[in-house]
Structure 1
Amino acid sequence: MWDIGGQDSLRSSWTTYYANCDFVILVVDSTDRERLHISKNELYTMLQNEDLKKSRLLVLANKQDIKGRMSAAEISEQLKLTSLKDHTWQIQACCALTGEGLSQCLEWMLTQTGR
């Protein structure tokens, strides 16, 4: 598992970590509507990489505890997740501060690995 950060200066090094990757976990700030298009563009660029062809995608819709946040359904729509035909994916509403939704993420990952 690697936390490779989303800063612009780090993105060119992401491919270093793609080999043998079973899952891509994208954490989305559910309150940041203005930068969601950046996440979408980077996600689709990543998923085109040959090393990620067999990976599964887990999107964490974080900060669900904040008023005015986007729902997981809204984020899914904005990211056009239903258009992903070559990757199994799941989106999960969560709150990193309370841990709400995180156990469901781990359960989904386990079912995907057959364990």
Structure 2
Amino acid sequence: MQEDVNSVSPTLGFIIKTIDYDGYKLNIWDVGGQKTLRTYWKNYFEKTDTLIWVVDATDRERLDDCRHELKGLLVQERLMGASLLVFKNKSDVPGCLTEDEICEGLQLDTIQTHKWHVIPCSAITGENLQQGLEWVVKDAKDRLFLY
């Protein structure tokens, strides 16, 4: 993603990017998670192959809200068939939620309508962000007819 990590901050509003990765063009809609922006999320569902959900692994109090919002998205008709990648952000911070706690808190084991995967990462250091893109591309290759 080749971005200056000193400029990493939560998305306010939305950002549209195209990333060339492994010979594929990934169109990314980075949509902020603030409550005032959530009503706009539905505008970005069309032709979504993968939903990337970023969880702040240091914020235990918001995990219930995070689960509620995610469950609401996964029942949207225009997201049917989309896979789910959960980035466990701030995984480099001591005492953060474990992967098991994230899975349990989001009730990922109950999701049967979407293929899902959790990857611990750090937006600041860039740790495992590449691994996330690799998973997205491999998943698309496995599921979708790409020509």
Q: TM-score range by the shorter chain?
A: over 0.9
In the alignment, is residue 111 of structure 1 matched against residue 138 of structure 2? yes
Please tell me whether residue 74 in structure 1 is matched to residue 101 in structure 2: yes
Alpha-carbon distance in 2 for matches of 1:15, 1:95: 27
Aligned-pair identity (%)? 43
**Match of 1:114, SS?**
helix
Q: Which residue in 1 is equivalent to 2:83?
A: 56
TM-score by length of 2: 0.75
Report whether the alignment pairs 1:39 with 2:73.
no
Extract unaligned runs of 5+ from structure 2. 1-27, 143-147
1:87 deviation in Å? Answer: 0.1
Gaps of 5+ in 1: none
**Shift in Å, 1:20:** 0.5
| 2:79 alignment partner AA | L
Q: How many matched pairs?
A: 115
Opposite residue 85 of structure 2, the aligned amino acid is L
Instruction: Write the deviation string for residues 56-89 of structure 1: whole angstroms up to 9, x where unpaired.
Output: 0000000011111001221011101011101000
Counterpart amino acid of residue 123 in structure 2: A
Partner of 1:14: 41
Amino acid of the structure 2 residue aligned with 1:61 = K
Shift of 1:9: 0.7
TM-score if structure 1 supplies the norm length?
0.96
Distance in 1 between the 2:65 and 2:98 partners?
18
Q: Which has the larger radius of gyration?
A: 2
1:99 Cα deviation from its structure 2 partner = 1.1
The one-character-per-residue Cα deviations of 1:13-72 (angstroms, maximum 9, x if unpaired) are 110110110011111000000001111000000111000011100000000111110012
2:121 maps to which residue? 94
